[in-house]
Amino acid sequence: METVTRSTPPPVLERSEVFLIGSLRVEGLEASYGGRQILKGITMDIPAGAVTAVIGPSGCGKSTFVRCLNRLHEVVPGARVSGRVLLEGQDIYAPGVDPVVVRRRIGMVFQRPNPFPTMTIYQNVAAGLRVNGWDRRRTAEAVERSLRMAALWDEVKDRLHQPATGLSGGQQQRLCIARALAVEPDVLLMDEPTSALDPVSTLKIEELLIELRQRFTLVVVTHNMQQAARVADRTAFLLDGELVEFGPTAELFTMPRDRRTEDYITGRFG
C-alpha cells in the first residue's frame, strides 16, 4: 500500500504523520435536513484499502452518512453538516477546501443507476474526464480500463457509441461504477449499489467490490446483511443517526457487543 507524507503537519502535531492514501476518519459528524437532525455525532476510522459496510434499518441515515463523506449532503437546500471528516488527516470541511476537489478524490455510486441519458456509453464513462481536461487518447484508455474494472467491457465493447439508456439496469449500475472509477478516486462510496439489481448482477458487483478493495477505500451501504458478510472487512451498524457498533465484520455478526446490533442482525426489528 502506498503512503503519503504530509511535509507540513498541522501545528498541533509534533512530527509529520503518515497516512494511508484514501484513509478516512470521521469525528463528531452531525447532519440535518431543514433543522431535523439525522446524524447525531458519528466518530469512526474508515481504513484504506478495505471494504467498510454500513448497515441499519431504513431511514437511519446511511445515505445521509455517505453523502457527508464527499460533501454532497450540503447541495440539498436546507441541509447542514458539522463535525470533521479527515481524508489522509486533512479535514474536507475545513474552510477554504473546495468541495469539487474533495469529490474528485472521493467518488460515489448511487442507490439507483443514474447514467446520463443523453450520452452514449462511452461519453458516460468519459464524462468526468473531460472536466479534468484529459486528451482524447488518455480518455479512450481510461474508458476501456474503467469498463474492464467494472466487468462491463465485454458486454458493451461493440456498442460504445450507443445510448447508455439502452443498457439493462444491472449494466447501467456497472456503467455508473465505471464512470466513478474513470476519474481515479482514492475512495469510492457506494449507496446500496445492488438494491435495484437481480442476483446475477448483484454477484458480479460483489466480486467487483472484493477485487477493487486492493486499490480503493470502499464504503458500501447495504440493506442486505449477507452481502455485508460476504464483501466487507469491517461493518458499521447505524441506528437512528447513531453509530451503535463498528468492528470487523465477522465479529459484528457472530458476537455483537451491543444488544441493539444483535436484535437487528437476528431480524428482531428493522
Residues at the contact surface with ligand ATP, assessed by CB under 6 A: 33, 38, 56, 58-64, 76, 223
User: What backbone phi and psi angles, to 5 degrees, belong to 253?
Assistant: -85, -30
> Beta strand pairing status for 217-221 and 187-191?
parallel
Contacting positions for Mg ion (CB under 5 A)? 63
CB of 159 to another protein, least distance (A): 11
Name which of another protein, Mg ion, ligand ATP, none residue 261 binds, using a CB cut-off of 5 to 8 Å depending on partner kind: none
Of 66 and 209, CB closest to another protein: 66
**Choice between 103 and 260, CB closer to another protein:** 103
User: Shortest gap between Cβ of 63 and another protein (angstroms)?
Assistant: 11
From the list ligand ATP, Mg ion, another protein, none, which binds 260 (C-beta under 5 to 8 Å, kind-based)?
A: none
* Smallest gap from residue 131 Cβ to another protein (A): 5
Interface with another protein (CB under 8 A): 70, 72, 75, 77, 100-101, 103-105, 107-108, 110, 112, 114-120, 122-123, 127-128, 130-132, 136, 161-163, 176, 179-180, 183
The minimum distance between CB 119 and another protein, in angstroms, equals 7
Q: Which residue is nearest to Mg ion (CB)?
A: 63
Paired strand residues for 100: none
Going by their DSSP bridges, the two strands 18-20 and 24-33 should be labelled as unpaired
CB of 244 to Mg ion, least distance (A): 17
61 is in the binding site of which of Mg ion, ligand ATP, another protein, none (Cβ under 5 to 8 A by kind)?
A: ligand ATP
- Each residue of 42-66: b (16+ CB within 10 Å) or e? bebebebbbbbbbbbeeebbbbbbb
- 183 makes contact, choosing from ligand ATP, Mg ion, another protein, none, with CB < 5 to 8 Å by partner type, with another protein
Nearer to ligand ATP, 28 or 166 (CB): 28
